Amino acid sequence: MAKSKQAIRVLVADDHAIFRDGLRKLLDVDDIQIVGEAANGVECTKLLPKLKPDILLLDLRMPEKDGLGVLEETNFDSMPTRVIVLTAAEDDRDVVRAMRLGARGVVLKQSASDLLAKSIRKVHEGEIWLDNRMTAEVIDAFKKSAESGQRREKPLLSDREKEIVQLVAQGFRNREIGEKLFISEQTVKNHLHNIFDKLGVSDRLELALYAIHHRLIDSA
């Protein structure tokens, strides 16, 4: 099938050739293009800087280097790639850790093909994608984290800080936020440091979930 010029470029990292072949057939749609395949984490880390895909479909369980290892060792801030974790109902702790390491979505391998395609489109647009069960697990994990720290009931965020929270929750990176708000990337980092301190959160994902939970953004 011919792909449009604006097709979402996808790299698939999974150690099962049959599964990769199945994904290629399932995702043979006009607006999605699989541009590469990796059979393990080592191959994945080599292909990422070469292909710079829009989306990485990343299996958590692979030989040589697993999905968590890829997330830990790759600086995704330096490339346009957003990560969707593929899981066959693995340990929920691994899923939470993957999200903390920067993954923007989690898809169960047994999900219907239309849901997988939808997740790719949504994450590419900047949204967070979680299976209903996984959503509950991730939010519960962050709630437990929240209980261990002190937060303001009514955090005093400036208008600029609120704008940045909105953009972080939508999945934009520091450089992209700076471009949208016409400020430097370092200024964005300074604002985030203040926001983290005010809200008592430790990372961007926790900030996004906290903002949704406390209705600090217009919509979830």
State how far the Cα of 84 lies from the Cα of 196, in Å rounded to an integer: 25
Residues constituting the chain:
220
Is the predicted pLDDT of residue 217 greater than 50, yes or no? yes
Tokens for 184? 């430097």
pLDDT score recorded for residue 173: 85
Q: What is the CATH number of domain 8-142?
A: 3.40.50.2300
Identify the band that residue 3 occupies on the pLDDT scale cut at 50, 70 and 90. Answer: low
**Domain 149-213, architecture per CATH:** Orthogonal Bundle (1.10)
Tokens 């895909």 sit at which residue? Answer: 53
H-only helix segments in the chain: 17-26, 41-51, 67-73, 92-100, 113-124, 132-147, 159-169, 174-181, 185-199, 204-213
pLDDT score recorded for residue 151: 46
Average pLDDT, the chain: 83
Domain boundaries along the sequence of the chain: 8-142, 149-213
Strand partners, 66: none
Q: What is the pTM of this model?
A: 0.70
Tokens for 163? 């704008």
Identify the band that residue 145 occupies on the pLDDT scale cut at 50, 70 and 90. Answer: low
Angle between the N-to-C axes of helices 159-169 and 185-199, in degrees from 0 to 180, rounded to the nearest 10: 90
Instruction: Provide mean pLDDT across the span 83-101.
Output: 80
pLDDT score recorded for residue 100: 80
pLDDT score recorded for residue 135: 64
Identify the band that residue 81 occupies on the pLDDT scale cut at 50, 70 and 90. Answer: very high
Identify the band that residue 5 occupies on the pLDDT scale cut at 50, 70 and 90. Answer: low
Q: Which residue has the higher pLDDT, 47 or 158?
A: 47
Question: Regarding beta strands 55-59 and 105-108, do their DSSP bridges make them parallel or antiparallel, or are they unpaired?
Answer: unpaired
Tokens for 76? 């995704």
